[in-house]
């Protein structure tokens, strides 16, 4: 099943680590505030979730397949 990274924006500390580690360039830090995942680019590899110091990224099954 296809997977997608979800960010809990309330816990994100805007460090940018997820953005740097993503092999697909799927993450941007929105206005320096919290990270946003591009659903079209994310392949659900989980690298962002593994590196996030705040533990606020979870990779889950996609509810909607684009
Ligand atoms: S799960 Fe992988 S592809 Fe998706 S945003 Fe995280 S690092 Fe990028
Ligand atoms: S690694 Fe985690 S805390 Fe840092 S910008 Fe990404 S989601 Fe936010």
What is the reported pLDDT for 41? 96
pLDDT digits 0-9 by tens, 13-23? 999 999 999 99
How many other β-carbons are positioned within 10 Å of the β-carbon of residue 14? 15
Domain covering 3-61 in this structure, CATH number:
3.30.70.20
Length of the chain in terms of residues written: 66
In the chain, what percentage of residues exceed pLDDT 70?
Answer: 94
Q: Which pair of structure tokens corresponds to residue 35?
A: 């990270």
Does the structure show a pLDDT above 90 at 1? no
Kindly report the pTM of this predicted structure: 0.90
State the distance from the centre of ligand 1 to the C-alpha of 21, rounded, in angstroms.
8
Average pLDDT over every residue of 43-57 = 97
The phi, psi pair for 18, rounded to 5°, reads: -65, -40
State the distance from the centre of ligand 2 to the C-alpha of 46, rounded, in angstroms.
13
> Contact, 7 vs 56, CB < 8 A?
yes
């Amino acid at each position: 099943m296809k997977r997608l990274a979800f960010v809990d924006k309330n816990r994100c500390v805007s460090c940018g680590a997820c953005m740097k580690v993503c092999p697909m360039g799927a993450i941007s830090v929105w206005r320096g505030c919290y990270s946003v995942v591009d659903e079209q680019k994310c392949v659900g590899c989980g690298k962002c979730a593994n590196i996030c110091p705040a533990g606020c990224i979870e990779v889950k099954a996609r509810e909607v397949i684009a």
